[in-house]
């Protein structure tokens, strides 16, 4: 009587998967991709497809080749299709790999209003956790020209603040410098693209060096001490005892008062807004000659 030949488990799985990658043609790969897409209603993108081809069919090929065959044969997934052109994605990759230069270099001074700005995110402790406030300060007069408050320190917060600044400046955004620390939100593609579209020059200090944005840190300190601590008490603020719906209007009112009523010694005891109104074209160095 004839015996039954025994084969190993791996050999059996190899038999089920079919020919090895060396024997596989592009036509067979396309057939397998089409089979998977039809079974999943075109739910596979190319990277998982590459893995599935290897696991299910024993086809070992690279991701780029799978993407090329899927694109060429109309087998791309319906899930998360690209929203932009390849040029946009290439520019996005370029931005991720390069940080903006430091155009301020700790020179926190400006002769003209609306030309050199600092910005930073500070947190506001509330019962619900933390709120986050992104503020843009004009180096000309220390005025807070725009700010936004959110429950997340994300790109949307920074984008909203810059859009408010652009609304304040009108058409005069080209060549304007906006300086920040090296936070990840300021390196995001959406934020940097917005600045580029507005013609704004992005400036960024060294990572972890607070002195590169010292003037902005000073403003954040004023908000904490003169607004939050004076109004609610330092202990309550630091222990997250103030609800968000109570803190937000207090901060908003303080920012308006800071701009229009708070007198600054460096501005001749004028408020930032009043100083700008009296010197709309800027401040210039003057040489006073003595009598002959």
Higher pLDDT, 214 or 126: 126
Asked if residue 210 has pLDDT above 90, the reply is: no
Higher pLDDT, 288 or 124: 124
Share of residues in the chain with pLDDT > 90 (%) = 52
pTM above 0.75, yes or no: no
The three state secondary structure string of the chain is: CCCCCCCCHHHHHHHHHCCCHHHCCHHHHHHHHHHHHHHCCCCCCHHHHHHHHHHHHCCCCCHHHHHHHHHHCCCCCCCCCCCCCHHHHHHHHHHHCCCCCCCCCCCCCCCCCCCEEEEEEEEEEECCEEEEEEEEEECCCCCEEEEEEECCCCHHHHHHHHHHHHHHHCCCCCCCEEEECCCHHHHCHHHHHHHHHHCCEEEECCCCCHHHHHHHHHHHHHHHHHHHHHHHCHHHHHCCCCCHHHHHHHHHHHHHHHHHCCCEHHHCCECHHHHHHHCCCCCCCCCCCCCC
Give the pLDDT confidence of 220-264 residue by residue, as tens digits. 999 999 999 999 999 999 999 999 999 999 999 999 999 999 999
Give the pLDDT confidence of 157-192 residue by residue, as tens digits. 999 999 999 999 987 899 999 999 888 889 888 899
Q: How confident is the model over 276-289, as a mean pLDDT?
A: 72
């Amino acid at each position: 009587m004839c015996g039954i030949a025994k084969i190993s488990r791996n050999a059996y799985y190899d038999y089920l998967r079919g020919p090895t990658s060396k024997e596989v043609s592009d036509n067979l790969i396309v057939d397998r991709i089409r089979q998977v897409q039809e079974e999943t209603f075109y739910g596979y993108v190319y990277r998982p497809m590459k893995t599935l081809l290897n696991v299910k069919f024993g086809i070992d090929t690279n991701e780029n080749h799978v993407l090329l065959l899927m694109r060429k044969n109309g087998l791309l997934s319906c899930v998360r299709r690209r929203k932009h052109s390849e040029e946009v994605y290439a520019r996005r990759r370029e931005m991720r790999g390069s940080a903006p230069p430091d155009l301020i270099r700790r020179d926190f001074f400006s002769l003209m209003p609306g030309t050199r700005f600092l910005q930073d995110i500070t947190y506001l402790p509330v019962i619900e956790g933390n709120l986050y406030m992104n503020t843009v300060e004009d180096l000309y007069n220390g005025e807070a020209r725009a700010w936004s408050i959110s429950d997340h320190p994300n790109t949307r917060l920074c984008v909203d603040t810059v859009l408010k600044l652009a609304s304040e400046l009108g058409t005069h955004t080209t060549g304007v410098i906006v300086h920040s620390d090296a936070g990840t939100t300021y390196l995001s593609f959406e934020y940097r693209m917005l600045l580029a579209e507005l013609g704004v020059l992005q400036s960024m200090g060294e990572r972890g060096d607070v002195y590169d944005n010292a003037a902005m840190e000073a403003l954040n300190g004023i908000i904490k001490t003169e607004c939050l601590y004076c109004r609610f008490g330092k202990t309550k603020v630091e222990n997250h005892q103030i609800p968000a719906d109570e803190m937000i209007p207090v901060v908003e009112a303080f920012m308006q008062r800071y701009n229009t009523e708070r007198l600054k010694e460096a501005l001749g005891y004028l408020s930032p807004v009043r100083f700008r109104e009296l010197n709309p074209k800027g401040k210039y160095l003057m040489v006073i000659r003595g009598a002959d």
